[in-house]
Amino acid sequence: MASKLIAVVAGVGPGTGAAVVRKFAATYPVVLLARTPDSFSQLADEINGNGGKALGIPTDVSDAKSVKSAFSKIESEFGKDFGLAAAIFNASGGFVRKPFLELTEEEFVSSWNVSAKGAFLFSQATLPYLLKATSSSKHPPTIIFTGATASIKGSAQMSSFATGKWALRSLSQSLAREFGPQGVHVSHAIIDGVIDIPRTKEWLKDAGPDAKISPEGIADSYWHLHTQPKTTFTWEIDIRPGVEKW
């Protein structure tokens, strides 16, 4: 039994990652993983300054050593008997859109490296701590994977991003079938639209004020998934603006 419950979020950036961190930090100490401290330092300070607890660790989720090192640091900070109430995988490989015959092997592999191998490494690192938390966590320990439109559609010129996202979706389904019966809730979210972050400020300006997905809305849904009881697990939800064409 885990004596202390925490949450970990991989792929912390200005959008979904940050909103999810803030949402879960209201209840749990949260570990923030991103490749560079720039992605999480300010957010960690904000949470620690507001009476929450946040620990940022620079991590490359596609690298087994880096993931292992991150979890050593988590153990150093929280002790060996912590458990994970929640693990959110929000990292994505490079988004490339170009004619297939111009795609380099490196570009093709880059998406999979994060979306699939990264998710594999993250899952192997977190599942033992999620399993350890099944008896002590109020809500079933939960691992959530962030997908995209490309998780269910292989568009022209998008094979790099889509192959990674389809693989991620498949991984999450396989894990749901294996770990659901063991008390861990495995979910996959299809985020089908443009997320409202600084980088997309100028996008979809003509589509009205509600054309972009609110990161806070995504975080609320992730939290809802986390609170579902063992008898009522959702594997997959889709999330899109009401005005979206799909």
* Residues numbered 161-200 forming contacts with a second copy, rule: CB under 8 A: 162-175, 177-181, 183-185, 196
Please, which residue, 53 or 153, has the CB nearer to a second copy?
A: 153
Q: Is 54 in the site for a second copy (CB under 8 A)?
A: no
**Residue 197, token pair as written in the block:** 């972050």
Backbone angles phi, psi at 9, to 5 degrees: -125, 120
Verify binding: residue 85, a second copy, rule CB under 8 A. no
Contact flag: residue 82 with a second copy (CB under 8 A): no
CA-to-CA dists, residue 115 to 49, 55, 169, 190, angstroms: 32, 23, 9, 14
Question: Is residue 25 close enough to count as binding a second copy by CB under 8 A?
Answer: no
Residue 177 contacts by C-beta under 8 Å, 6 or more apart in sequence? none
* Structure-block tokens of residue 112: 């999979």
**From CA 58, how far away is CA 61, in angstroms rounded?**
10
Helix, strand or coil, per DSSP, at residue 59? coil
**Region binding a second copy by CB under 8 A among candidate stretches 7-15, 30-38, 74-82, 215-223:** 215-223
Rounded Cα–Cα distance for residues 34 and 40 (Å): 7
Can you tell me which of 28, 40, 120, 129 binds a second copy, judged by CB under 8 A? Answer: 120
Would you count residue 204 as binding a second copy (CB under 8 A)? no
Footprint (CB under 8 A) of a second copy, residues 133-152: 140
Residue from 49, 51, 99, 198 binding a second copy (CB under 8 A): 99
Identity of the residue, 77 or 238, whose beta carbon is nearer to a second copy in the bound complex: 238
Q: Which of 100, 135, 201, 205 binds a second copy (CB under 8 A)?
A: 100
From 31-39, 50-58, 76-84, 205-213, give the range in contact with a second copy by CB under 8 A.
205-213
Q: Which is nearer to a second copy, 4 or 237 (CB)?
A: 237
- Any idea what the Cα angle at residue 236 is, between residues 231 and 238, rounded to 5°? 135
> 71-75: long-range contacts at Cβ-Cβ below 8 A with a sequence spacing of 24 or more?
71/125, 74/6, 74/8, 74/31
Span from 20-28, 41-49, 84-92, 210-218 in contact with a second copy (CB under 8 A): 210-218
Nearest approach in angstroms of CB 223 to a second copy is: 9
Q: Tell whether residue 61 is a contact of a second copy (CB under 8 A).
A: no
Whole-angstrom Cα distance, residue 130 to residue 140? 9
Q: How far is the CB of 160 from a second copy (least distance, A)?
A: 9
**Does 14 contact a second copy by CB under 8 A?**
no
CA–CA gap between residue 17 and residue 10 (Å, rounded): 8
Place of tokens 């979706």: 169
